[in-house]
A and B are shown apart, each in its own frame.
With several copies, the nearest count.
Chain A
Amino acid sequence: MAYDPKNPMKDRITDIGPRHYEEFMPPVIKKNFGKWLYHEILEPGVLMHKAESGDEVYTVRVAAARLMSVELIRDALNIADKHCEGYIRWTTRNNIEFMVDNKSKLEPLKADLKANPMFPIGGTGAGVTNIVHTQGWVHCHTPAIDASGIVKAVMDDLFKHFQSMDLPAQVRIALACCLNMCGAVHCSDIAILGFHRKPPFVQHDLISSICELPLAIAACPTGAIKPATVDGKKSVSVNGPRCMFCGNCYTMCPAMPLMDAEGDCVVIMVGGKISNRISAPKFSKVVIPALPSTPPRWPETVAAIRNILEVYAKNANKYERLGEWAERIGWERFFEKCNLPFDVKTIDDYTLAYDTLRTTTQFKFS
C-alpha cells in the first residue's frame, strides 16, 4: 500500500502522534524505570547510574554536529547495534548517548567510538557541553549569521573543556542566528546571537503586490514603518532611527529585507542560566554589542568567548555559574576582569529598562 496522489484521503492516517517511548528503551532502562538511586561521572563523558535493583547502566556521551547526514547516523546506529542492543539516544543538547548494562561492555564501546573522530566523548559535568543552535545559512531565511559554522569554530577552540570537567560549574553555550532566538540563547551562560544592524530597505516597486501593506506597518513594534507613496506606487517608508532591528517586518513582508553583509553582526550575551540550582533562572545579558561576522572561522567571536570563559574559570567559586559569579563580583568588575569595553548600547532602554539601572550608591570603582 502506498500513497495515491489521485486519492489522497484514502486510508489516510492522521493524529497518531509519535511512537511510544517505551518501545525504544534499552532493557536495563525499562527494568529500572523510576528506580534509580544515584549516578557517578566516571570520567568525562561517561556516566554510571545505579538502580535500587543493583543494576547499573553505563552511558557514554559523544558530541554531534546536530546537522547530521543519514550516513553518519547509520555509523552511530552501527555502534549501537554492536554494543548497545540496538538502542541509542540523543540528549536535549544534541549529544548522542550510548548505553550498556555492564561495566565490561564499556571499554569496547569506548574503543569503537574513539576510532571515529566524529564521535568525541565528553560533555558531562562542569565543562562545556554541546552548543544548542539553530539553522543559520544552512536553512533559514532570516539569519544574520551562520549557525553550524560558528558552533564548529567555537567548539574546536573549547574542545578541551568538552573533554574535561575543570570549570567551576557547567557552562552552557547557545547560538541563535537571529533574534527570534530559536536557540533560546536568552538563558545561556554564554550566548552567540546574530543581529541585523541596518533597517529594512523597501522594495518599493514590488512591495504592494507582494505584501499587505497594513500588516507590514502593523508589524513594527516601534512604529517605525509608515505608509508612503514612492514613484507613484503605494509603499512604506522606514524611520531608521526608530528601528530596533527586530526583523518582524521582514517576517511579515519579504519585500523588506534587513540582511546585509556589513551590518549583520554577532552579539555576545553572558550570564544566563536555566536550572533552579542555588539561584533562580536568569537571562543572559548583552556584554559585547557587536563583533563582525567573519566566516569561515569567526575569530573575533571565538576569541571573545575563550577570553570570557577563561576569566570566569580562573575567578569563580566552585559550583558558581557564570552569571552568579558576575553578580557576586558586580557587573562592573566583570567588565574590568574580562577587559571588555563598556558600551552605552549594553544599557537597557527597552520596556523593563528601569529595573536594570543602578539605584544605589553601592558600586565598585574600576
Chain B
Amino acid sequence: MAKFETPLLDDLEKGPWPSFVTDIKRQAKTKPELEDLLGQLELSYKDKETHWKHGGIVGVFGYGGGVIGRYSDMPEKFPGVAHFHTVRVNQPSGLYYSSAYLRQIMEMWERRGSGLTNMHGSTGDMVLLGTQTDQLEEIFWELTHDMNTDLGGSGGNLRTPSCCLGMSRCEYACIDAQNICHDMTQTYQDELHRPAFPYKFKIKVSGCPNDCVAAIARSDFAIIGTWRDDIRIDQAAVQGYVKGELTPNAGAHSGRDWGKFDIVKEVINLCPTKCMSWDGNALKIDNKECTRCMHCINVMPRALRPGVEKGCSILCGAKAPILEGQRLATLIVPFMKMEPPYDECKELLNKVLDWWMEHGKNRERIGELIGRVGMREFLKAAELKAIPQMVKEPRSNPYIFWEEADVPGGWERDLAAFRKKHPL
C-alpha cells in the first residue's frame, strides 16, 4: 500500500498519454523514496505551490557544475526526498544509446539515486533526478571509471552542447552536427566544468536551417548548417510530385485531404524570396536570390537537395527572457566551412568568450552584453567585418557613436580659433 494517499495525482493515471504517475508508482515499489516524492508532489497539487527549497551549492570536487542541489521544505514529512539533488550526465551527441550503456547507468542510478530520470533535460543532458549529497562522489566515480562518461554543465559555465541527429539519419544535414558537438564538448571541457564565465553559455548545432535542436532560440553560440551553391534539382522527381506519384513533404500532411498537390501554390508562391519558377515542365531556381529557407526542399525531398558546397552559419546570443528580455541568436558569420578540427570556428568562439569574460557583468548573457555595448564592440573583439547580412535592416536612428579616429581632424578643437570665427 502506498505511503501517502494521492487522489489528485491518481487522476493523472487516466488518459492515453504516458502517465508519469503510473510510472513512478511502479518504481516506488522498489525505490521507497519515490513514495515520499509522490507524497510531496500530491501536497503541491493540493497547495498549488512547490515544496522544494531554494537549492544549495553541492557538487563533486573540482567541478563547478553538473549537480543541482535540491532539498525538501518538509524533510520530516518526506524524509526520502530531504535531499534530492540532480546529476546532469553529458549525453552522447545525437542522443543515440546502446542498451548496454543505458543499462549500466540505470543500474547505478537505481543503486545510488532515486531511480527517476529526465530523458532529457532541456539543455540536452541526461538528467538523473534525486540523490543525496553523500552519493555524489560515488556516482561521479562510477560514471567516469565504469561508464567512461562525464557530467554535464550547470551554473555560470559552458553548458552541455547539444545537436540534432544530423548526418546520422537526415538527408538535409549540411554539417556533421554530432561530430561538431562532440568535438566542441571535448575541446571545452575546462569551460564546462570550471566556471569562469559571467553566466551560462550554450552551444547548439543543427544540421540545417530547419533547426531541429532549436539552436537559434536557445543557444549563445548557434552553429546551423547551410550551403552556398545551388540547390540540386532532379527534374524527373519534380514531375513525380506534380503528377502525384510522390507524396509532398514526405507525407507529413497525409492526415488530411489537402487536395491535389499544386506546385505553384505550395512551393513557388510560398518561397519567401519568390526566386522559383515553374513553367509546367521544369522547375527553375534563381539560386542567388534563395535564402535557403528549406521550404521547397522540405516539400519535395526526393527532387531537391541542398547544394554541395556546405558549411554553417553562426549566430550568437539567444536566451530566455531573464533578465533583459528574450533574444533570438543573431547572425555573425554567414558561412563557414566546417571540417575537423574546426579551428576557424574555435578561434572565433575563443575570441567571443574572451571578450565576454572581460566585459560581461555578473549574470549577463553574451546576447545581453551585445545589446548593452553594441555590435560594433562585439565585431571588433571577434575580428569580424561588418556585413549587411548581419542585420535585417540598417539603423533608422542617426545616433552613431563616431570614433575620434574616423573623424577628419580628430576631436581636438582650437577654442580660440573657433571663437575668432564665432564670437560669443
A binds B: yes
Contacting pair A264 B328 (CB below 8 A):
no
Query: Which of B288, B301, B321 interacts with A186 by CB under 8 Å?
Result: B321
Could you say which of A143, A257, A274 has the most chain B C-beta atoms within 10 Å of its C-beta? A274
Query: Which of B209, B224, B258 interacts with A318 by CB under 8 Å?
Result: B258
Whether B9 sits at the interface, judged by CB under 8 Å, is yes
| Stretch of B142-150, B276-284, B336-344, B351-359 that contacts chain A | B142-150
Whether B347 sits at the interface, judged by CB under 8 Å, is no
Whether B76 sits at the interface, judged by CB under 8 Å, is no
State how many angstroms separate the Cβ of B56 from the closest Cβ of chain A.
10
Once the chains are docked, how many angstroms separate the CA of A275 from the CA of B331?
15
Chain B positions 270-307 with a Cβ under 8 Å from a chain A Cβ: 270, 272-273, 288-295, 298-299, 301-302
Give the number of chain B interface residues (Cβ < 8 Å): 186
Contacting pair A335 B320 (CB below 8 A):
no
Contacting pair B226 A361 (CB below 8 A):
yes
State how many angstroms separate the Cβ of A152 from the closest Cβ of chain B.
5
State how many angstroms separate the Cβ of B313 from the closest Cβ of chain A.
5
| Known pairs A34-B173, A318-B253, A361-B292; A19 contacts B122 (CB<8 A) | no
Interface of A is mostly: loop
Whether A69 sits at the interface, judged by CB under 8 Å, is yes
- The digit string for B226-267, where 1 denotes a CB below 8 A from any CB of A, is 101000000000000000000101111111101000000010
Whether B390 sits at the interface, judged by CB under 8 Å, is yes
Contacting pair B11 A296 (CB below 8 A):
yes
Contacting pair B185 A17 (CB below 8 A):
yes
Contacting pair B291 A362 (CB below 8 A):
yes
Contacting pair B171 A39 (CB below 8 A):
yes
Contacting pair A164 B255 (CB below 8 A):
yes
Once the chains are docked, how many angstroms separate the CA of A119 from the CA of B391?
44
Once the chains are docked, how many angstroms separate the CA of A261 from the CA of B407?
11
Contacting pair B52 A73 (CB below 8 A):
no
Whether B381 sits at the interface, judged by CB under 8 Å, is no
Once the chains are docked, how many angstroms separate the CA of A216 from the CA of B391?
35
- The digit string for A334-366, where 1 denotes a CB below 8 A from any CB of B, is 111000001111111111111111111111111
State how many angstroms separate the Cβ of A348 from the closest Cβ of chain B.
4
Contacting pair B398 A286 (CB below 8 A):
yes
Whether A72 sits at the interface, judged by CB under 8 Å, is yes
Chain B positions 21-36 with a Cβ under 8 Å from a chain A Cβ: 21-24, 26-27, 30-31, 34
Once the chains are docked, how many angstroms separate the CA of A186 from the CA of B219?
13
Contacting pair A139 B70 (CB below 8 A):
yes
Query: Which of B98, B190, B394 interacts with A286 by CB under 8 Å?
Result: B394
Contacting pair A319 B12 (CB below 8 A):
no
| Known pairs A332-B388, A353-B395, A357-B391; A260 contacts B371 (CB<8 A) | no
State how many angstroms separate the Cβ of B387 from the closest Cβ of chain A.
6
State how many angstroms separate the Cβ of B64 from the closest Cβ of chain A.
12
State how many angstroms separate the Cβ of B260 from the closest Cβ of chain A.
12
| Known pairs A141-B52, A250-B54, A348-B394; A49 contacts B171 (CB<8 A) | yes
* Chain B residues whose C-beta falls within 8 Å of the C-beta of A359 in the assembled complex: 216, 315, 327-331, 392
Query: Which of A86, A92, A180, A240 interacts with B100 by CB under 8 Å?
Result: A86
* Interchain residue pairs with CB less than 8 A apart (12): A33-B167, A57-B169, A64-B119, A70-B115, A74-B106, A89-B95, A184-B218, A287-B394, A295-B44, A357-B375, A360-B331, A364-B289
| Stretch of A104-112, A124-132, A303-311 that contacts chain B | A124-132
State how many angstroms separate the Cβ of B296 from the closest Cβ of chain A.
10
Query: Which of A151, A246, A274 interacts with B216 by CB under 8 Å?
Result: A274
Contacting pair A263 B294 (CB below 8 A):
no
State how many angstroms separate the Cβ of B62 from the closest Cβ of chain A.
6
Whether B67 sits at the interface, judged by CB under 8 Å, is no
Contacting pair B41 A138 (CB below 8 A):
yes
* Chain A residues whose C-beta falls within 8 Å of the C-beta of B335 in the assembled complex: 365
Whether B157 sits at the interface, judged by CB under 8 Å, is no
Chain B positions 312-331 with a Cβ under 8 Å from a chain A Cβ: 313, 315, 320-331
Once the chains are docked, how many angstroms separate the CA of A295 from the CA of B91?
33
Whether B189 sits at the interface, judged by CB under 8 Å, is yes
Task: Known A-B contacts: A68-B23, A349-B376. Give 17 more (CB < 8 A).
Answer: A8-B137, A18-B93, A38-B302, A67-B129, A69-B34, A86-B98, A88-B96, A126-B255, A262-B407, A289-B400, A331-B392, A344-B386, A346-B391, A348-B397, A356-B392, A363-B313, A364-B291
Once the chains are docked, how many angstroms separate the CA of A21 from the CA of B161?
13
Whether B165 sits at the interface, judged by CB under 8 Å, is yes
